[in-house]
Amino acid sequence: MTTLNKLAGLVAVVTLCATAALHADGVWLIYPVSPPPSAGPGTGNYNLNLGDSLKVWDISGTYSEDLQGIALDYTIAVDPSGKFTGQGKATINGFEGYDFTADMDLGISGSISTAGTVTRVNLTLKMSGPGTFQGYDIMMKATANEKVEVDSANLQLIGTVSGNVTVSVPALHKSRSASIPRTDSQDTLPSGVTGDWALALNVTNSLNKYGGSGSAQVSSGTMPLLLTGTYTPKTGLSKITLKGQGAYRSCNFNVGVAFTNVVSDVKSLTGKVLGQSLKLTSDPGPAYP
């Protein structure tokens, strides 16, 4: 074979393999171009980070706030259904120039819900305990109701608070009650509460039918889920169903995802977790296995 024929054969091979050329230091380097990976059935472990496109607010943590002269310090824990409870202390050390102190136990209850893209939080704070007022021993009870929404830009709970308070003076056999006027409320979310979350999938595949397990990972912990689903070769799309069991039965997801051997693209998602209804129809980007 002549040198010219050898060169022609080399060019044909290069063209057939769909090669690309890169120029470096005056030398042309030739590399094969790989076609983009195509979607197929999933198997193995995948972590779908969804917080950039769809927030889930786990507001568990410790808070400090001032309620019209009453210092509140408390910790709450959110359950999988979005309901929460908590406890702490409510204290008064002087009030509008009066010799007024109180040291009260504080109990909290409430729930999280969604309305469209808005995440709402309703809290009820009940406090009671002894104190002193102008030299008299007193008993004090108060209830406050906060109706707030998550401000995702500033990582705060903003809204309003109102309530009522009763002060009893045993030595005088008297008590007085008054309302706490509705005022603006603004609380900073605990450190680490950013709305970021993820779904972890452990996928097994048998004849394009899925089994396995998964979990929803939020800022305060992990919720285990049962995984089932199917793969459709015609579309390359996998449909994954995730359901919580027992204490986690209020958590569920339906996910449309395109699996490849490199990344996994979430195409759609609906579900509910921590009392929040979720819906995603745009592609948030790849999730690496």
Mean pLDDT of the chain: 86
Task: Tell me the pTM.
Answer: 0.81
Q: Please indicate, yes or no, if residue 37 is contained in any of the structural domains.
A: no
Same domain, 72 and 155: yes
pLDDT in tens, 243-267: 999 999 999 999 999 998 766 889 9
Name the domain count of the chain: 3
CB atoms within 10 A of CB 217: 20
Q: Please indicate, yes or no, if residue 164 is contained in any of the structural domains.
A: yes
Q: Is the pLDDT of residue 89 over 60?
A: yes
pLDDT in tens, 162-188: 999 999 999 999 999 999 899 999 999
Same domain, 75 and 153: yes
- Cross-strand partners of 198: 49, 217
Q: Please indicate, yes or no, if residue 231 is contained in any of the structural domains.
A: yes
Same domain, 160 and 259: no
Residues contacting 186, CB < 8 A, separation 6+: 156, 157, 158
Same domain, 28 and 72: no
Q: Please indicate, yes or no, if residue 101 is contained in any of the structural domains.
A: yes
Same domain, 232 and 151: no
Same domain, 109 and 24: no
Same domain, 124 and 204: no
Domain that holds residue 13: 3-32
CA distance 65 to 62: 10
Compute CA distances 184 → 62, 66, 146, 147, 152, whole Å. Answer: 20, 11, 9, 10, 18
Q: What CATH number has the domain bearing residue 266?
A: 2.40.128.120
Band (37; pLDDT cuts 50, 70, 90): low
Same domain, 249 and 181: no
pLDDT at position 31, please? 34
pLDDT at position 132, please? 95
**Closest by CA position to 173, among listed 137, 131, 212, 141:** 137
Q: Is the pLDDT of residue 36 over 50?
A: no
Same domain, 113 and 183: yes
